[in-house]
Amino acid sequence: MTISPSIIEWLLQGDPAIRWQVMRDVVGSTHAEVHAERSRTAAEGWGAQILAEQTFDGLFGGGIYNPKWISTTYSLLLLRRIGILPETKPIQKSCCLLLEKGIYRDGGINYFKSMKNSETCVTGMILSILSFFHYPTNKYDLLLDYLMKEQLPDGGWNCRRYLGAHHGSFHTTINVLEGLQEYLNFTSRSKSEVIASRDRAVEFLLQHRLYRSHRTGRVVDSKMTRLSFPPRWRYDILRALDYFQYSKIPYDSRMDDALQILHKRRQKDGCWILQQRYPGRTFFEMEEVGKPSRWNTLRALRILKHYEKLT
């Protein structure tokens, strides 16, 4: 696959959040160059705009999980994708809130008074945030034990397991997978059980060819094939493939259906557009639906660059 110099130039004209990842994943800049650009994300552009919304007590949007998408949880999820450096001090205060306000008696995270058990999607989200930002706590084992206990026989997770669900959910599974991977990147503790759990969940997605019923082959939900950003709590093939390349999951032919969709969605000029946005409150909009998307183009290019030599 050829990457047009004009597309790279266009990407590098974007926000620091885009530029440092393009430099790392597409251009192949030096570590020092990438780090210098990444350091700008807390002081300029989208990252700085989000950080400016934090109040003195560490909250964003006036809440822990709601309102969507300006709450503390979703603000930190977006800052993780932007790549704010872990040592950014204001983030640690927010991480403390997310953990202390959410840790529940079953070891997971529960922000909901109406629920008598933890929420698996949210537990995966919080694990990803705490791990990415290197938050110092002795509660990681509790979160991991809860997630290991909740994993279903098919390898996936489903936040409705407590209601009797016995088949994995794409949405829950990707949230937990991202949490496990950030934990693996962060910790130096024994990883074998976490890796085994991750691998079972990856197999779950591959058995479904990332978006199809494993029984009928039909598309589970057409929204999963549409390219969005930010993904919030929702699953789509671009999010899954980006997770695969980030986690260095080896190429598998069962990725091909999703990779072909990615190729088909590429525009004539070499970019990808933003196809959908999930309704909810935001501090600002980064991109416009139906227009060229630097986020989607960056992610698509690094996926194809990672797997193109193998496919």
- Which tokens hold the place of 239? 């999010």
Nearest alpha-carbon partner for 201 in 187, 222, 180: 180
Q: Which residue is listed with tokens 């930010």?
A: 230
Q: Are 126 and 104 in contact (CB under 8 A)?
A: no
Half-sphere exposure of 123 toward its Cβ, with a 13 Å CA cutoff? Answer: 30
CA dihedral 245, 249, 254, 259 (to 10 degrees): 10
Q: If DSSP codes are grouped into helix, strand and coil, which group holds residue 254?
A: helix
Sequence-distant (6+) residues with CB within 8 A of 150 are 108, 120, 157, 161
What is the C-alpha to C-alpha distance for residues 130 and 135, in angstroms, rounded to an integer? Answer: 5
Q: Are 289 and 278 in contact (CB under 8 A)?
A: no
CA-angle at 245, arms to 175 and 6, nearest 5°: 115
Widest distance between CA atoms in the chain:
54
Domains of the chain in sequence order: 54-308 (1.50.10.20)
Q: What is the DSSP string of 50-68?
A: HHTT--TTS-BTTBSS-ST
CA-angle at 21, arms to 18 and 24, nearest 5°: 150
Query: Full-prediction pTM beyond 0.85?
Result: yes
Sequence-distant (6+) residues with CB within 8 A of 256 are 209, 311
Q: If DSSP codes are grouped into helix, strand and coil, which group holds residue 280?
A: coil
What is the C-alpha to C-alpha distance for residues 297 and 294, in angstroms, rounded to an integer? Answer: 5
What is the C-alpha to C-alpha distance for residues 136 and 274, in angstroms, rounded to an integer? Answer: 36
Nearest alpha-carbon partner for 178 in 232, 106, 115, 256: 232
267 class by beta-carbon count within 10 Å (0-12 exposed, 13-18 middle, 19+ buried): exposed
Tell me the pLDDT of the chain (311 aa) as tens digits: 678 899 999 999 999 999 999 999 999 999 999 999 999 999 999 999 999 999 999 999 999 999 999 999 999 999 999 999 999 989 999 999 999 999 999 999 999 999 999 999 999 999 999 999 999 999 999 999 999 999 999 999 999 999 999 999 999 999 999 999 999 999 866 689 999 999 999 999 999 999 999 999 999 999 999 999 999 999 999 999 999 999 999 999 999 999 999 999 999 999 999 999 999 999 999 999 999 999 999 999 999 999 986 33
Q: Which residue is listed with tokens 């489903």?
A: 158
Nearest alpha-carbon partner for 144 in 160, 157, 162: 157
